[in-house]
Amino acid sequence: MSNRRLLACTCGQTVPVEPRQAGGETTCACGAKLLIPPLRQLRDLPEEVAASEKPGGSWGLSQGLTSLLVVVAVLLAATAGFFRLTEPAKPVPFDFSNWQTESKAGIAKMTPDQLWQRWIDVYAPQVGANFQVYKSVEDQIATETIARHRKLEGYLGIGAAIFAAMAGILFAMFKGSRPG
Ligand SMILES: [Zn+2]
């Protein structure tokens, strides 16, 4: 353990001084001459911490942990963004007149058994529902997928915010306790 003390210069730098230099003089890197206080006062000065004695372990750990939290936060946010981007297109509201026109054109090309199948599959349920609600299976899947994506995006966003907040708190904590 070094027992050198740090003598502060007016320029903001510190000069390490040995106890045996007490009462003497030293020169700062800026060129200013500094009076070294007597031993009694020298003891009150901050101790020089040698490079190998620096509490680098905990600093490194906090820094590592903060970086990890930031990485997790970024990953969660990126995943949320990815889900948003890969979200299926919103189903367009059903246009009955357009559907009728398209159906007429389609029906003209159909064979009788295709027509019958079409009736069973598409028209009969619509008649039953008075043509009020028309939703294709694709539309329903898309709507459900969007809902699922939105929910997941919400969770991911909250997760990202929590991790970012934790990283911020940790950063502030270790920055405050950091020597120097
Ligand atoms: Zn100086």
Q: What is the mean pLDDT of residues 163-167?
A: 91
- What pLDDT does residue 50 have? 67
| Distance in Å, CA 22 to ligand 1 centroid | 18
Query: What are the tens digits of pLDDT across the range 89-140?
Result: 777 766 667 667 777 777 777 788 887 887 777 777 766 666 555 567 777 8
Cα separation of 112 and 119, whole Å?
A: 10
Near ion ligand 1, which residues have CB within 5 Å?
A: 9, 11, 13, 28, 30, 32
Reported pTM: 0.43
Q: Which of 32-41, 49-58, 63-72 has the highest mean pLDDT?
A: 32-41
Write down the pLDDT at residue 33: 95
Report the pLDDT value the prediction gives residue 119, as an integer from 0 to 100: 75
% of the chain exceeding 70 in pLDDT: 80
Could you read off the pLDDT of 78-94 as tens digits, one per residue?
Answer: 998 988 888 777 777 66
Q: Are 16 and 9 in contact (CB under 8 A)?
A: no
In the reported structure, the alpha carbon of residue 8 is separated from the centroid of ligand 1 by a whole-number distance in angstroms of: 8
> What pLDDT, on a 0 to 100 scale, did the predictor assign at position 160?
93
Ligand 1 center from residue 115 Cα (angstroms): 96
Question: Measured in angstroms, how far is the CA atom of residue 15 from the centroid of ligand 1?
Answer: 8
Residues 42-52 have a mean pLDDT of 80
Alpha-carbon 75 to chain mean position: 6
Query: Count of CB atoms within 10 A of residue 146's CB?
Result: 15
Distance 109 CA to ligand 1 centre (A): 95
Gap from CA of 41 to ligand 1 centroid (Å): 20
For 93-102, 154-163, 170-179, which range has the lowest pLDDT when averaged over its residues?
93-102
Where helices occur in 43-123 by DSSP H, the ranges are 56-85, 96-108, 112-118
